[in-house]
Every structure is written in structure tokens, then in C-alpha cells.
Amino acid sequence: MPRMFVRLSMLAASALLLFAGTALANEKCATCHADIAGKHKTTLHGKAGKDCLSCHGGGDAHIANPSKSNIIRFGKGVSAKEQNAQCQSCHGKNQKLMFWDSSYHKKNDVTCVSCHTVHKNPKPYAKQPESCFQCHKDIKSQANKFSHHPIIEGKVSCSDCHNPHGSLGHGMLKAENVNQLCYKCHADKRGPYVWEHPPVEEDCTKCHGSHGTKAAKLLKEKQPQLCQSCHDWSRHPGTPYGGQAVFGGSASAGRGGLARGCTGCHGTIHGSNAPGSNGKRFIR
């Protein structure tokens, strides 16, 4: 028991010295950078006992000669490799960063401070998706379309599906492939089915746009045009669902393209367990 008490006392003393040293270093920095040093106390770095020197270095040499050349800087004029190396000196062993070296963000020289705010402590996901949209403007456009995942509403975050620090999956997905990721929320589409729809089994994004589309239910095209991209219209129903058939005044006008869709009959389009030919054709 006495040994345990001594160890705890030594740990407490070390912690006090650490925070005392941190406070002293920050006080010196505050003589010129009062606004930043004041906010530092409330950040995760400040609460963990990290002082300004932990990231910027410099110390007495910088105080004696306040030049940008004798401190570690972040932002314009400094390579992404140098900036990220400083962050990874502490965070490099984090499990979320294990695939950083193979990530698209590293390959495109994205810095940690491009996404993370260091001198103030934002709420979790407060910068999503706005932070991501600064670079991924095509995704922003998709997320604002008629049919979209509730990204802009804040119900789904970019990091729910993607690991911005890298992953083994394509597009830095948090799963082995697209389908495995979609099944985390849409488990009812997983199956197994007796009669499986081949494109569904292969890749959900063959029919659906994951961020947003102009058609309902995140479909890449409206029915029946989407289905006809794979299924030849010449045999069923016998005429193409084009403008002439729908609006051309023919006898077949409106029978397929207007107010009707393939899933009106083929309702179990993701897969069916029904016996016989009905299940093969995904009929309700």
C-alpha cells in the first residue's frame, strides 16, 4: 500500500510540474499572442497539458528574436509534409491514421489543419459537411439535389461512411466495399435471396447515387429509363419508353412512361424469396 501511495504521489507531482510548465510557456507566448493563448486552455491540446512549444517549438530563441524562421509554422508557405509530420509526432500511432500514407488526402497534399481547428475547440462534426464541401464541390452539388442522403440536414455525416485519414476501401470507405457499407443502415437489402438481382448483388451504386440524384430514392435515372439501361425494351412491353410512345398520340401512349414504373409489378427488385417464376422476375 505505501508503494502504491508513493507512485500515485509521484504521478500527481509529475502532472503538476507538466501543467505548471505548460502554463509558464503559454504565459510567455501570451505577451504577443494573447488571443490565441487564451483560447488554448479550452482546447483538447490545452486540457492534455500541451503548450504552444509542443507544436511550434521556438521557446527562448523565438522570444529573443520573434521571427517566423525559428518556429514551426502551419499554413501557407510550409509544405504539407512538414506540417503533417509535426501533428503525427503525437497522433501518428492513432488507429484512425493507420492508412494515412495510402490515403487520397495525403497524396493530394491535404494538411491536418485544412480540416482540423487547433486553437479553438469546435463541437463534434461542427465542420461537416461544410469543411468537406470546400474541396468536394461536386458532392455538395449532389447533396443539394431533390433526392439526397440527409447530409446537409446533419442526420448523416461524411465521416459516417468515409474515413478521411484513409482506409482499405475505394473512396476511403469505412467498409470493404460499397454494399457492405450500405448494409450497415439498409440491412433489409442484404438478403440472402433465392432470386438475386445481379446488379444489386454487385454494387448498389449501379442504380443509386450515394450522395444525391435528380430522381426519387436516390436513383440515377427515373423509371423506366434506369431499368432500360440494362433490360432491352424490344421484348417487354414491345415499345420503347420514349417521347414518341408517351406523348406522340399513338395507341400505346402513356402505357409505360407516364405514371407507371417497372417496380409497379416487379416490386421486390432487390431480391426475392418467392418460389417459381414469379420470384425469378421479382414480381410482388
Q: What are the tens digits of pLDDT across the range 156-204?
A: 999 999 999 999 888 999 999 999 999 999 999 998 999 999 999 999 9
Domain range annotation of the chain? 95-174, 186-280
Considering the chain, what is the average pLDDT of its residues? 82
Q: What is the pLDDT of residues 97-151, one digit of tens each?
A: 999 999 999 999 999 999 988 887 665 445 789 999 999 999 999 999 999 999 9
What predicted TM-score, i.e. pTM, was given to this entire model?
0.78
The residues, any chain, with a CB within 8 Å of residue 182's CB and separated by 6 or more, are 189, 204, 210
Strand partners, 148: 212
Q: Is the CB of residue 51 less than 8 Å from the CB of residue 22?
A: yes
Output b/e per residue, 241-278; b: 16+ Cβ within 10 A. Answer: beeebbeeeeebeebbbeeebbeeebebebbbebeeee
Rounded CA separation 263/149 (Å): 21
Q: What is the 3-state secondary structure (H, E, C) of 6-42?
A: HHHHHHHHHHHHHHHHHHHHHHHHHCCCHHHHHHHCC
Torsion of CA 176, 180, 181, 182, to 10 degrees: 160
- C-alpha 131 chain-centroid distance: 11
Percent of the chain with pLDDT over 70: 79
Torsion of CA 216, 222, 223, 227, to 10 degrees: -110
Q: What is the pLDDT of residues 257-278, one digit of tens each?
A: 555 678 888 999 999 999 888 8
Q: Tell me how long the chain is.
A: 284
User: Cell 524562421 identifies what position?
Assistant: 69
In terms of Cα–Cα distance, which of 118, 121, 123, 122 is closest to 52?
118
